[in-house]
Amino acid sequence: MRKLAVALAALLAVVASTGPAFASAGLPTIATLQAGAHEVTLYNDSPGLRKGANVLTVEIAGVPHGTHVELELVGPQGQTVPVALQEVEGLGGHGDSHGGGEAEEAVYHGRGKAVLPATGTWTVRLHAGEVAETQLEATTSGPNSIFVASTGLLMGGFMIFGAIQRRRQQTHGR
């Protein structure tokens, strides 16, 4: 039984090490576009757009404080998903770090949630004085099925092993 557990643990380690690792200092950049003279960077909490919930962050360099920014995603069947952006000041917002005066460059940071009902090619449309568009592919994402199956088998195996050992201790102790 121990040999089986060691073999499964080794298999799990190999499977887990073959998947992509997305560790970084910040959010994954999913698009960079140009809105007139302003460079726009779009971030997501996951490495790309996916069917279901996406938390998007928009960063626009060189826009004045209070600029009205709208973001919407247009789906493959023409469905429109508006993203209600909330301006976030804690990400390097307006004003200098001491709270007085203006910063050399007012950088806009907005964050909002978009729930995509389908996979496919989505058009990201940003309105910030100028209109900018790009197309991104939304996929179905989730954990690797081999990883989930291996983990489930390993957990189930250890539970059965533990139950058998406990029963053996109870019967031999009497």
The whole-model pTM stands at 0.62
Q: Residue-wise pLDDT tens for the chain (174 aa)?
A: 677 767 767 776 666 655 544 444 588 999 999 988 889 999 998 888 999 899 999 999 888 777 889 999 999 999 999 999 999 875 544 444 444 444 445 789 999 999 999 999 999 999 988 899 999 999 987 667 788 899 999 999 999 999 999 998 888 765
Domain coordinates of the chain in residue numbers?
Answer: 1-19+144-174, 21-142
What one-character DSSP code corresponds to residue 37?
A: T
Architecture in CATH for domain 21-142: Sandwich (2.60)
Q: What DSSP letter does each residue of 68-105 carry, written as one string?
A: --EEEEE-TTS-EEEE--EE-STTT-SS-TTSSS--SS
Element (H, E) at 122: strand 120-128
Distance CA(115)–CA(58), nearest Å, equals 16
